[in-house]
């Protein structure tokens, strides 16, 4: 079956660094997406990885290892506004997104 696993909740301190892990098992693979979703709002796109390695975009970076079925989202210099849910989604061979349940990130002052 298809499955995406990510932690339910994480807590971090303002100004610190946090890494949110995601493991995936999908029928085929056409890329790994990360989205940010604030409570009551629609998700917004953060990153897309299809090749192994690290993609850096400002304070956010995303890493992919296809052989391990593993990705992580790294958030640096955390700000209070980063408190949100972070959704990992894998695109399968039918180009459908398989969504994880999301990781709720709580930032403390």
Partner 1 sequence: GAVVSQHPSWVICKSGTSVKIECRSLDFQATTMFWYRQFPKQSLMLMATSNEGSKATYEQGVEKDKFLINHASLTLSTLTVTSAHPEDSSFYICSASAGTFTEAFFGQGTRLTVV
From CA 93, how far away is CA 91, in angstroms rounded? 7
Q: Which is nearer to partner 1, 13 or 44 (CB)?
A: 44
CB of 20 to partner 1, least distance (A): 14
Q: Does 99 bind partner 1 (CB under 8 A)?
A: yes
Other Cβ atoms within 10 Å of 83 Cβ, number? 17
Q: Work out whether 109 is an interface residue with partner 1 (CB under 8 A).
A: no
Expressed in angstroms, the distance from the first to the final Cα of the chain is 40
Residue list 24-83, contact with partner 1 (CB under 8 A): 30-31, 33, 40-45, 48, 50
Ranges of H-type helices in 13-94 = none
Write out the residues near partner 1 by the rule CB under 8 A.
30-31, 33, 40-45, 48, 50, 87, 95-97, 99-102
């Amino acid at each position: 079956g298809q499955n995406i696993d990510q932690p339910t909740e994480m807590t971090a301190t303002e100004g610190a660094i946090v890494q949110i892990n995601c493991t995936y098992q999908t029928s085929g693979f056409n890329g790994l997406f990360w989205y940010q979703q604030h409570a009551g709002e629609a998700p917004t796109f953060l990153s897309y990885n299809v090749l192994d390695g690290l993609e850096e975009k400002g304070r956010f970076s995303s890493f992919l290892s296809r052989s391990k079925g593993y990705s992580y989202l790294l958030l640096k210099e955390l700000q209070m506004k980063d408190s949100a849910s972070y959704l990992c989604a894998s695109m399968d061979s039918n180009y459908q997104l398989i969504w994880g349940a999301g990781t709720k990130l709580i930032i403390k002052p």
